[in-house]
A and B are shown apart, each in its own frame.
Chain A
Amino acid sequence: MDQTSDCFSVNMEREIAETKARLCLDCGKCTTACPVARYDVEFNPRLIVQRWLSSNGAKGQDPSIWQCLGCYGCVERCNYQVKFPEFIDALRYEAREQGHNAICSHGGSLQSLMRIMAGDIQQDRLGWVPDDIKVAEESDTAFFAGCASYFDVIFDDLGVQTSENNKGALRLLNRAGIEFALLPNERCCGHDLLQQGDRQGAFALAKANMGEFGTRGIKKIITGCPECLHMLRDVYPKITGERAFEIKHITEVLAPLVDSGDLKLGHLSKKVTYHDPCRLGRLAGLYDQARSMLKSVRGMEVVEMEMNRDKSLCCGATPWVNCGLVNRQVQQERLSQARATGAEMLVTACPKCQIHLNCAQKLERQSVPRVEIEDLVTLLVHSLEQEDSNDQS
């Protein structure tokens, strides 16, 4: 055993200890809560932990590890908060080191994109910013746009334009008088590479982003993407060993302003239901901000789905790997829950939830419920536009 693998196995043990997997009571609550386990009997979080612990890690690759959605639904129910998704991340890293890999969705285009971004490149990615949005040349606050502009190109066939969410966020920030800069060479946050076990790629992206923040003197970051929020808030400090900036999700920035009356929202007669993105809800604990803003729109009725807040069902998203029938079934269940509320629209605050729930509806099966999916911030901007046009008429 060379020094690297020795070092790796020691750290693997330490990581497993940090996920608290050895505290597992073998109760099976995780499996009950798991959206994948509902549809795939082969996938059983409790048994995955048990198998690994009983064999003391020395075993062949367990193919079921690639099925985990990383939604943290199991962690919510676990008596000891065993961090099963992080346990899975560690197993995926180990599996990748041994030459195994997940089946990449979308032909691996997103993985290649992320790995190219980790290289020494100078992007030209701000073409989506309209002229009417005021962007500061220099500011210590940056808006981290995420990969939305790339998603627009890749998911053009779905008719989802996630850059619209960012445009909406910037318009509301302008309206609230919050100054921000945009980063022309911002990289992917690395969330998906990390979640599929490619730590080298994720760390390279993190280092490139940290370099960009450092050069531009960024102290505060606002983002519209819950996955970027999770990476920048929870993972980057672990990678760099320091917390160099403050990071907030756009709902955290806008909700207090709406509550205090400093940011007025418009009027929109609609019955909507809110879907909690896993990273924004269970990981960041931001449940009320979005709901309070939706309720502040005059004429808007907000109804809850059967599974909401910390019990919210995942959109079936994975880090762009192993997307198959089970994911479709999870998505279909979520869409059915939305339909059952009688809401006209499902509102979410995550571009990936938007993409996945729209993608599920592309299936031409009668059994797939049809629900309009909209981004939270875009909807708030629509309410303002609606009011402006009413004022003019």
Chain B
Amino acid sequence: MTDSLTIVVFACNWDGLSCVEEAAHAHLSFPASVKVVRVSCLSRIHLGLILGAFQRGADGVMLLGCAPDDCHFDPGGSCVNREFTKARQTLDMLGLGSERVMLVNLVRGDGYGFVAKIQDFMTRFGTAPTLLVDAGTRARTPRVPSFWQLRTDG
């Protein structure tokens, strides 16, 4: 059930990504529906990217970065915390739930930790139906060739 959930992981280029690579080296398995996007630092992530992932059909977004106080760029931690808080509040208001976004800080090369966090994250909303929010604007809404056609179609 949870295998069908699409999780977008924004992993920082440093400790975050090393955990994903270590999981692969250690032959640990995690669902193929987990999509990893490498970013130079989690401070690159902003609300637009997080909401953009949900708009395109993600069920959850994980922000995977370096251990606290070990960021390669000094203000990185505070930047991501601010955007993480904004994302949580926005998702709560949207009724999607703040548990759909998770900030994870792991030490370098913690492949087991990464897989455990992914499993934990997926069970958080494992029973919720898969969100197809993007379909709301793309599939469910008929293509409307013009302003006026909609009126005539009712």
A contact set with B: CB distance below 8 Å: 4-5, 7-8, 11-12, 14-15, 93, 104, 106-109, 112-113, 115-125, 127, 149-150, 153-154, 156-157, 185, 199-201, 203-204, 207, 238-241
Chain B residue at smallest Cβ distance from A205: B137
Q: Does B144 contact A (CB under 8 A)?
A: yes
Q: B residues 65-94 with Cβ under 8 Å of A?
A: 82, 86, 89-90, 92-94
B49: A residues at CB distance < 8 A? 107
A14: B residues at CB distance < 8 A? 146, 148
Contact status B55-A115, CB under 8 Å: yes
Q: Does B46 contact A (CB under 8 A)?
A: yes
5 A-B residue pairs with Cβ-Cβ distance under 8 Å, sorted by A, are: A4-B145, A12-B146, A15-B147, A106-B47, A116-B96
Contact status A154-B47, CB under 8 Å: yes
Contact of A122 among B95, B134, B145, B150 (CB under 8 A): B95
Q: How far is the CA of A93 from the CA of B147 in the complex (A)?
A: 10
Contact status B151-A241, CB under 8 Å: yes
A contact face: mostly helix, strand, loop, or mixed: helix
B132: A residues at CB distance < 8 A? 119-120
Chain A residue at smallest Cβ distance from B54: A116
B contact set with A: CB distance below 8 Å: 46-49, 51-52, 54-55, 82, 86, 89-90, 92-96, 131-138, 140-141, 143-151, 154
Apart from A120-B136, A123-B93, what 19 extra A-B contacts exist at CB < 8 Å? A7-B149, A93-B147, A106-B46, A107-B46, A112-B48, A115-B55, A115-B137, A116-B136, A118-B137, A119-B134, A120-B132, A122-B95, A124-B94, A153-B90, A156-B86, A200-B143, A203-B150, A204-B140, A241-B151
Contact status A121-B148, CB under 8 Å: no
Q: How far is the CA of A106 from the CA of B134 in the complex (A)?
A: 20
Contact status B93-A203, CB under 8 Å: no
B136: A residues at CB distance < 8 A? 115-116, 118-121, 204
A11: B residues at CB distance < 8 A? 145-149
A121: B residues at CB distance < 8 A? 94-96, 133, 136
Contact status B51-A116, CB under 8 Å: yes
Contact status B133-A108, CB under 8 Å: no
Q: How far is the CA of A119 from the CA of B82 in the complex (A)?
A: 26
Q: How far is the CA of A199 from the CA of B147 in the complex (A)?
A: 7
Contact status B51-A199, CB under 8 Å: no
Contact status B52-A199, CB under 8 Å: no
User: A115 to nearest B CB, angstroms?
Assistant: 5
Q: How far is the CA of A7 from the CA of B147 in the complex (A)?
A: 11
Which 6 pairs from chain A and chain B are nearest by CB?
A: A107-B48, A119-B136, A11-B146, A112-B51, A109-B48, A119-B133
Q: Which of A11, A14, A115, A207 is most buried by chain B, counting CB atoms within 10 A of its CB?
A: A115
User: A42 to nearest B CB, angstroms?
Assistant: 27
Chain A residue at smallest Cβ distance from B47: A109
User: A384 to nearest B CB, angstroms?
Assistant: 29
Contact status A8-B146, CB under 8 Å: yes
Contact status A149-B137, CB under 8 Å: no
Q: How far is the CA of A121 from the CA of B54 in the complex (A)?
A: 12
Q: How far is the CA of A263 from the CA of B144 in the complex (A)?
A: 46
Contact of B145 among A7, A104, A124, A201 (CB under 8 A): A7
Q: How far is the CA of A204 from the CA of B139 in the complex (A)?
A: 11
User: A312 to nearest B CB, angstroms?
Assistant: 28
Chain B residue at smallest Cβ distance from A184: B95
A156: B residues at CB distance < 8 A? 86
Q: How far is the CA of A225 from the CA of B146 in the complex (A)?
A: 27
Q: How far is the CA of A11 from the CA of B149 in the complex (A)?
A: 8
Contact status B95-A123, CB under 8 Å: yes
Contact status B90-A15, CB under 8 Å: no
A8: B residues at CB distance < 8 A? 145-146
Q: How far is the CA of A169 from the CA of B97 in the complex (A)?
A: 29
Contact status B133-A125, CB under 8 Å: no
Chain B residue at smallest Cβ distance from A193: B137
